[in-house]
Homo-oligomer: A and B are copies of this chain.
Amino acid sequence: MKISVIGSGNVATHLGNAFYRAGHHVAEVFSRSREHAALLAERVGARAVTDLADLSGDLDLCLIAIKDDAISGVLSALKPALELSGGILAHTAGSIPLEILKGNARNCGVFYPFQTFSKFREPDFRELPFCIEANNRETFQLLEGLAKGIGGKPYGIDSEQRKTLHLAAVFAANFSNHLYVVAEEMLKEKQLPFDIIRPLIKETAEKVMQSSPFEAQTGPALRGDLDVLESHLSLLGDYPGLKQIYGLREIYKLLTESIFRQHRNL
């Protein structure tokens, strides 16, 4: 496929590289910053573009891979050339409905990789879930094939389901990570290295790769071990450095009660 990538952040970069490796022709990379556009463009043999009006219309796919709240701004500046050439206009955003693209192209879709991307980590594309949505069957199949071609696993997900996925990700990824931060700060208070808890964090995630997290639950909250719960609450007052973590005792109490009640149907 002949593809232009709008954006030069983590998602744009990792997808651009993956398309290139899979043998697609990445034609153009757009970023308002010439430096950023050039960085990705050079790696994938594309042309760096800093003005949306300079994008060619002769494309199979124009993929908008920028921050969710910047998409509407790009759309208003995007010329309707795709309309004429019959290519696909798609975005990679978790929280933006498909509808937003409909004024700009006849064939439009969503190509949302359900993963967290980091600048310095190469993502594992094998089995990476891609949430696909399109306004017609042919477009859906082309996006599905694109996901498979880079090793991913396509799922047909409508805009309503995508919102739920986005919210679930906040709990499972952003909030979990904050709990790692709490642990990190707590260990620092007692001069303990974060290294000591890394295997436990890894295994906690690994355990739910096969089983259901509900069945994998362990700990004093599950057992309703009041002695331990009380000693933990009193211990939580003993870390002067943890005052910077807002609501620490409330987080402990709320999550403990939530675990306790769920496993007793209360």
Contacts and interface: CB of A to CB of B under 8 A. Distances in A.
Interface of A: 68-69, 95, 114-116, 118, 121, 123-124, 127-129, 131, 155, 157, 160-161, 163-184, 186-187, 189-192, 194-209, 212-214, 216-222, 225, 227-228, 231-232, 235-236, 244-248, 250-252, 254-255, 257-259, 261-262, 265-266
A164 B245 CA distance: 16
Residue of A160, A173, A195, A254 with most chain B CB atoms under a 10 A cut-off: A173
* Total copies of the chain: 2
Contacts of A163: 231, 235
B254 A200 contact: no
Contacts of A123: 203
Interface of A is mostly: helix
A174 B118 CA distance: 26
B205 A202 contact: yes
A174 B227 contact: no
